[in-house]
């Protein structure tokens, strides 16, 4: 919201700079985000009246005669919107328009133009706040605009605006008088006196003639506690006068016609939302009621809207003619042809208007104020102010208003001084509390240890004791309170076991040498298609995504890790070893979120070096990391070959704990990588973190180790090529004595001199005993047995060294 300092100063004098006002308001909770300074950029452009317009034959040009009070100028223009008597901006010879171009006398094929008539753009006006008529062709001023005046003196262009960002509890500052009241509070506080809000009241009386023949009925007084309707006869609907136009300009209201402009002005200036109907289109009566299901209305913006019981409407005999507090109806709106106006000034329930506006998806200035809480005592005054303005601007004659009111006097709010101290941690003297309430113009009665407080009717944020305590803090100053640490019995503070585990796991992964990444938890259809994720039905969709690339909740980390891989590779970060621990989401018994760990490797562990030593990431390396993690978590899962659409069909395995699949590892399918421009091999594994957690709390206890030197023995076994290595290893272990402490596969060989379809596995075995030094003979017996076991279990042959 932009607020004109110029206009503000017209109703409340102050000597602060714009920046100072901004800062003072911010410190009271009315956040001013900045100051916008506007200064006209044109030079020597004055107002002039069009006396004559003539077409120049065989051209699109027109010759005009312009009266600038001191002289009459011949000016050539291409504009088509001009009429005699229009008041327009005239750029005199040697003037400058807003973009800096200098205007000179010009010769149009023998026709001299002594200057130029200007459009809104040439005087640098903001199109946002202009009527459609003003934006077309040459800009036209109200008809009563004096001529020969500098444009910057006619339109209040040069001004400073406060950029106000108001929170929903500040309904009392959404309009100019409301904001002026806050400046009055600032002054009162500085001058240590009671705020005087009476200075902002309009005390003008109204001359009425006759009755308003349209009766008013309210169906539900909780939804509409007050409604005033007044007939204003014989109006002339036209353009607003200069004085009103100037105010609209400063309030940044787009002009429509004088009657509508007045209702908008009263809303933005005094804070009373109004609506005007063409009285002759209202059938018989006005009823304020809930809409019936299936009812429809064409609103002012010419949209046909379906109504529900959530909408409060103003209806006549035939049906809805306006959506109460939100937007008027098109059929009953005030137009140039309107002769008689029905002026509505009402108070509607905030909740009802909020619900109504939101159910239709409409936000208007009126609904903004009503839903935040308008001043329930303002409608009668609003009606008088608007009626007087309409009679002045549009020559209408107001009748006596019809009023239905269920407004009851406000209940006082009790404030216990003991409560103030208890909440704030500081005793505040009663006399100070009273002073604070004086600064804000609150009424109160001293009841000893309590104050009975009545806030002004526009302060809808004051309903309860706690609201008053907040006002004490606001007035004393948030930063005028002391700081105190909590003094309490000591106890050990901690994380949940699960969170503790996650941090330990992250620490372990970092120690292994992986970088943690954190990716967005939202993914897209196209990424899931790229991966070939086929459980589409269980993917959770956002109902209102911001963009298609963040429209789904990720069902697997890989979908958001791939773009990170792609980006890093493109940026030349070729060696990647990263992990993420994050939520993945699924439709399962409602919506389910679980933590997943994903590890992605590509490139090398080592930097390129002069020793020519390299350690390229590979499946076994990835598996080693997972084995480390599993051992850290006290689990020993199995690996079972499997095929996943996004993995290499013969380099991937499911990870099983008992019979449950808790994850998978392998190499990412090259086809997918090709599509994101990655040429290196990429290895990836993922596990469910909650499954890892199940055994992680088993306590680590010391196990004795041998104090005697170990005996080492290397063996080699030839088996069929497709025999899983794990089977061979298990066979060895099954035959081994308990003294076998370590078994390491140190060579794997296929090819000559081995027969085809055979492979050689070489193991290094290490034996030790806690009781004695082992001798060669102790092991020989086992090696002898092994030959038979290998033959039986894996159809292999032991080659003794």
Partner 1 sequence: MKDKIEQIKMEFEEKIKGKSLKEIKELETYFIGRKGKVTELFKMLKTLPKMQRREFGAEINELKQFIEKNISEQVATLERKEKIRKLKEESIDVTLPGIKLHTGNLHILSQTILEVEKIFLSMGFDVMVGPEIEKDYYNFEALNIPEFHPARDMQDTFYLAKKILLRTQTSPIQIHAMEKYKPPIRIIAVGRCYRRDAVDSSHFPIFHQVEGLVVDRKVTFANLKGTLAEFTREMFGKDVKVRFTPSYFPFVEPGAETSITCVLCGGKGCPVCKYTGWLEMGGSGMVHPNVLRGVGIDPEVYQGFAFGWGIERIAMIKYRIPDIRMFYQNDLRFLKQFKG
Minimum Å gap between C-beta 446 and partner 1 is: 23
For partner 1, the closer CB: 546 or 679: 546
For partner 1, the closer CB: 138 or 352: 352
Nearest to 687 by CA among 648, 650, 659, 661: 661
For residue 740, the surrounding DSSP H or E stretch is strand 740-749
CB 164 within 8 A of CB 2: yes
Minimum Å gap between C-beta 673 and partner 1 is: 18
> What's the distance, CA 496 to chain centroid?
31
For partner 1, the closer CB: 129 or 417: 417
Minimum Å gap between C-beta 129 and partner 1 is: 23
Minimum Å gap between C-beta 555 and partner 1 is: 13
First to last CA, the chain: 89
Return the exposure string of 11-28: e unless at least 16 CB atoms fall within 10 Å of the residue's CB, then b: bbebebebeebbebbeeb
Query: Residue 673: what are its φ and ψ, rounded to 5°?
Result: -65, -40
- Classify 720 in phi/psi space as left (phi over 0), alpha (psi -120 to 50) or beta: beta
CB 69 within 8 A of CB 147: yes
Nearest to 734 by CA among 678, 786, 667: 786
For partner 1, the closer CB: 285 or 549: 549
Minimum Å gap between C-beta 467 and partner 1 is: 7
Minimum Å gap between C-beta 266 and partner 1 is: 22
Minimum Å gap between C-beta 737 and partner 1 is: 37
Distances (CA, A) of 135 to 75, 120, 142, 144: 20, 6, 14, 19
CB 46 within 8 A of CB 148: yes
Distances (CA, A) of 592 to 182, 499, 548: 49, 18, 22
CA distance 396 to 235: 4
For partner 1, the closer CB: 69 or 608: 608
Query: Strand runs (DSSP E) across 205-303, as ranges?
Result: 216-218, 226-233, 274-278, 286-290, 296-298
Minimum Å gap between C-beta 549 and partner 1 is: 11
For partner 1, the closer CB: 125 or 502: 502
> What's the distance, CA 521 to chain centroid?
17
Minimum Å gap between C-beta 640 and partner 1 is: 29
Minimum Å gap between C-beta 409 and partner 1 is: 25
Minimum Å gap between C-beta 537 and partner 1 is: 15
For partner 1, the closer CB: 327 or 761: 327
For partner 1, the closer CB: 267 or 469: 469
Minimum Å gap between C-beta 197 and partner 1 is: 20
For partner 1, the closer CB: 487 or 679: 487
CA distance 249 to 240: 12
Minimum Å gap between C-beta 575 and partner 1 is: 6
Residues 6+ apart with CB under 8 A from 601: 576, 577, 617, 621, 622, 625, 682, 683, 684
For partner 1, the closer CB: 10 or 510: 510
For partner 1, the closer CB: 9 or 355: 355
CB 42 within 8 A of CB 60: no
Distances (CA, A) of 531 to 535, 563, 583, 647: 12, 12, 18, 9
CB 542 within 8 A of CB 553: yes
For partner 1, the closer CB: 95 or 568: 568
CA distance 364 to 310: 17
CA distance 351 to 337: 36
SS3 554: coil
Minimum Å gap between C-beta 420 and partner 1 is: 10
Minimum Å gap between C-beta 590 and partner 1 is: 8
Assign 3-class secondary structure to 312-379: EEEECCCCEEEECCCEEECCCCCCCCCCCEEEEEEECCHHHHHHHHHHHCCCCHHHHHHHHCCCCCCH
Minimum Å gap between C-beta 253 and partner 1 is: 22
CA distance 712 to 55: 113
Minimum Å gap between C-beta 559 and partner 1 is: 14
CA distance 677 to 528: 17
For partner 1, the closer CB: 336 or 589: 589
For partner 1, the closer CB: 484 or 679: 484
For partner 1, the closer CB: 608 or 781: 608
Nearest to 49 by CA among 172, 176, 191, 147: 147
Nearest to 451 by CA among 478, 418, 474: 418
CB 759 within 8 A of CB 721: yes
CA distance 164 to 182: 13
For partner 1, the closer CB: 5 or 354: 354
Nearest to 156 by CA among 248, 240, 90, 89: 248
For partner 1, the closer CB: 68 or 519: 519
CA distance 391 to 230: 13
């Amino acid at each position: 919201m932009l607020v004109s300092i110029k206009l503000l100063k017209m109703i409340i004098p102050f000597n602060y700079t714009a920046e100072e006002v901004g800062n003072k308001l911010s410190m009271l909770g009315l956040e001013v985000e900045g100051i916008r300074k506007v200064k006209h950029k044109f030079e020597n452009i004055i107002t002039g009246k069009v006396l004559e317009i003539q077409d120049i034959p065989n051209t699109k040009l027109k010759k005009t005669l312009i009266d600038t009070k001191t002289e009459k100028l011949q000016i050539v223009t291409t504009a088509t919107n001009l009429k005699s008597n229009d008041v327009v901006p005239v750029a005199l010879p040697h003037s400058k328009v807003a973009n800096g171009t200098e205007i000179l006398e010009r010769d149009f094929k023998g026709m001299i133009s002594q200057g130029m008539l200007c459009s809104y753009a040439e005087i640098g006006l903001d199109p946002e706040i202009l009527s459609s008529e003003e934006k077309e062709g040459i800009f036209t001023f109200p008809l009563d605009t004096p001529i020969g005046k500098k444009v910057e003196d006619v339109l209040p262009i040069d001004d400073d605006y406060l950029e106000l960002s108001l929170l929903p509890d500040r309904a009392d500052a959404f309009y100019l008088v409301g904001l002026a009241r806050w400046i009055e509070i600032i002054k009162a506080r500085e001058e240590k006196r009671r705020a005087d809000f009476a200075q902002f009241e309009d005390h003008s009386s109204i001359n009425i003639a006759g009755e308003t023949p349209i009766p008013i009925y309210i169906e539900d007084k909780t939804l509409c506690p007050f409604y005033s309707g007044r007939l204003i006869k014989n109006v002339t609907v036209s353009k607003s006068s200069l004085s009103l136009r100037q105010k609209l300009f400063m309030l940044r209201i787009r002009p429509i016609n004088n009657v509508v402009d007045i209702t908008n002005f009263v809303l933005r200036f005094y804070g009373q939302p109004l609506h005007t109907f063409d009285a002759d289109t209202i059938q018989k009566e006005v009823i304020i009621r809930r809409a019936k299901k299936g009812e429809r209305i064409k609103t002012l913006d010419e949209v046909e809207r379906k109504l529900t019981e959530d909408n409060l409407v103003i209806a006549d005999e035939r049906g809805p003619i306006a959506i109460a507090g939100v937007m008027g109806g098109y059929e009953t709106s005030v137009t140039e042809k309107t002769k008689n106006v029905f002026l509505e000034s009402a108070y509607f329930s905030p909740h009802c208007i909020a619900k109504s506006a939101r159910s239709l998806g409409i936000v208007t200035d009126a609904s903004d104020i009503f839903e935040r809480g308008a001043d329930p005592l303002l409608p009668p005054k609003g009606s008088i102010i608007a009626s007087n303005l309409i009679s002045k601007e549009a020559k209408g004659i107001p009748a006596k208003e019809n009023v239905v009111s269920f407004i009851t006097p406000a209940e006082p709010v009790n404030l216990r001084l003991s409560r103030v101290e208890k909440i704030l941690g500081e005793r505040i003297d009663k006399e100070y509390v009273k002073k604070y309430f004086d600064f804000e113009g609150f009424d109160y009665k001293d009841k000893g240890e309590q104050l009975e407080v009545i806030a002004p009717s526009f302060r809808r944020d004051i309903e309860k004791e706690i609201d008053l305590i907040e006002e004490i803090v606001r007035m004393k100053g948030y930063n005028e309170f002391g700081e105190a640490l909590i003094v309490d019995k000591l106890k050990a503070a901690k994380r949940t076991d699960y969170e503790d585990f996650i941090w330990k796991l992250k620490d372990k992964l970092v120690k292994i040498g992986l970088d943690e990444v954190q990716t967005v938890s939202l993914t897209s259809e196209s990424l899931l298609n790229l991966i070939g994720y086929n459980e589409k039905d269980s993917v959770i969709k956002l109902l209102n995504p911001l963009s298609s690339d963040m429209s789904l909740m990720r069902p697997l980390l890989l979908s958001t890790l791939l773009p990170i891989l792609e980006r890093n590779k493109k940026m030349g970060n070729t060696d990647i070893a990263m992990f993420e621990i994050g939520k993945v989401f699924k439709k399962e018994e409602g919506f389910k979120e679980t933590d997943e760990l994903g590890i992605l490797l590509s490139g090398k562990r080592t930097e390129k070096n002069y020793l020519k030593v390299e350690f390229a990431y590979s499946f076994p390396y990835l598996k080693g990391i997972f084995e480390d993690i599993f051992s850290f978590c006290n689990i020993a899962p199995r690996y079972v070959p499997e095929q996943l659409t996004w993995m290499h069909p013969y380099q991937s395995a499911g990870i099983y704990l008992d019979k449950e699949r808790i994850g998978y590892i392998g190499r990412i399918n090259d086809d997918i990588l090709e599509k994101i421009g990655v040429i290196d091999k990429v290895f990836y594994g993922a596990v469910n973190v909650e499954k890892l957690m199940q055994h992680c709390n088993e306590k680590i206890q010391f196990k004795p180790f041998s104090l005697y030197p170990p005996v080492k023995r290397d063996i080699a076994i030839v088996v069929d090529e497709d025999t899983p290595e794990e089977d061979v290893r298990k066979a060895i272990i099954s035959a081994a004595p308990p003294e076998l402490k370590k078994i390491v596969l140190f060579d794997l060989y296929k090819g000559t001199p081995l027969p085809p379809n055979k492979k050689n596995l070489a193991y290094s075995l290490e034996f030790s005993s806690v009781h004695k030094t082992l001798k060669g003979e102790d092991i020989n017996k086992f090696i002898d047995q092994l030959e038979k076991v290998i033959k039986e279990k894996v159809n292999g042959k032991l080659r003794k060294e």
